């Protein structure tokens, strides 16, 4: 049925919005510091990234509610998630000075964090392939979902502050999200949860394989 493909179409739309966000993030790297072009490009990158991120919850909700789960969706959804978040992190790391604010306690996106995130995703993906090739389910759990929410929020704040989103929405208190201590706390929570969720998936995968062999 065509309706079963609706979540997959939403996933495809997420990829399109993500590519749009990357185009504007690439333009950010070429814009002059404190220029109108820089703010404009960050503004559009923020909205495209945010819309793409929201669709992740939409396609999952539709697939579960109406039982529109497909083999394509099970593969495509996490792949697009990784392209979106890891791609955005790479752009943040390319020229961290653009997103740096006075008083920041650490770099917005150090290269080692991008490497850590990519390594974690490769590890979990490989482990999922091994487990599911043996006929067992190895879907995402709440640790992985919270990690994704933290990553999305952190990236959105970095883009939104450069793009003047608090002023655009007439919500000046959103400036507080870029408080050095809050922003640094979110950064380290994201890093620690990435490590913890990776270890958790490994333990879960090993237990599943051990139970099957027993």
Residue 97 maps to which CATH number? Answer: 1.20.120
**What one-character DSSP code corresponds to residue 70?**
-
Q: Residue 71 corresponds to which tokens in the numbers above? A: 């083999």
pLDDT tens across the length of the chain (214 residues): 566 677 778 888 899 999 999 999 999 988 877 778 889 999 999 999 999 998 888 777 676 766 766 666 677 788 888 899 999 999 999 887 788 888 888 899 999 999 999 999 888 888 887 877 777 776 667 777 888 899 999 999 999 999 999 999 999 888 999 999 999 999 999 999 999 988 888 888 888 777 776 5
- Position 190 scores a pLDDT of 93
Q: How many domains does the chain have?
A: 1
- Position 73 scores a pLDDT of 63
**Distance, CA of 117 to CA of 120 (rounded, Å):** 5
Find tokens 């979990």 and name the residue: 124
Note down the domain range covering 167: 2-213
Q: Which residues contact 65 (CB under 8 A, 6 or more apart)?
A: none
Comparing CA positions, the residue from 169, 183, 153, 165 lying closest to residue 85 is: 153
Prediction pTM value: 0.88
Comparing CA positions, the residue from 56, 188, 49, 40 lying closest to residue 109 is: 188
């Amino acid at each position: 049925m065509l309706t079963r493909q609706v979540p997959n179409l939403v996933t495809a739309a997420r990829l399109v919005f993500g590519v749009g966000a990357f185009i504007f993030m690439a333009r950010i790297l070429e814009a002059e510091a404190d220029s109108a072009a820089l703010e404009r490009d960050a503004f559009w990158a923020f909205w495209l990234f945010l819309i793409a991120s929201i669709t992740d919850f939409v396609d999952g909700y539709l697939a579960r509610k109406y039982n529109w789960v497909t083999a394509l969706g099970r593969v495509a959804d996490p792949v697009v998630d990784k392209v979106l978040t890891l791609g955005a992190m790479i752009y943040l790391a390319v020229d961290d000075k653009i997103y740096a604010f006075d008083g920041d306690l650490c770099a917005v996106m150090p290269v080692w964090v991008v490497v850590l995130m990519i390594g974690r995703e490769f590890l979990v993906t490989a482990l999922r392939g091994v487990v599911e090739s043996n006929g067992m389910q190895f879907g995402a759990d709440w640790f992985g979902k919270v990690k994704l929410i933290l990553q999305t929020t952190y990236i959105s704040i970095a883009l939104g502050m450069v793009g003047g989103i608090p002023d655009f929405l007439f919500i000046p208190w959103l400036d507080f999200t870029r408080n050095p201590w809050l922003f640094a706390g979110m950064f380290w929570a994201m890093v620690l949860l990435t490590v913890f969720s990776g270890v958790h998936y490994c333990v879960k995968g090993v237990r599943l394989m051990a139970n099957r062999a027993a």
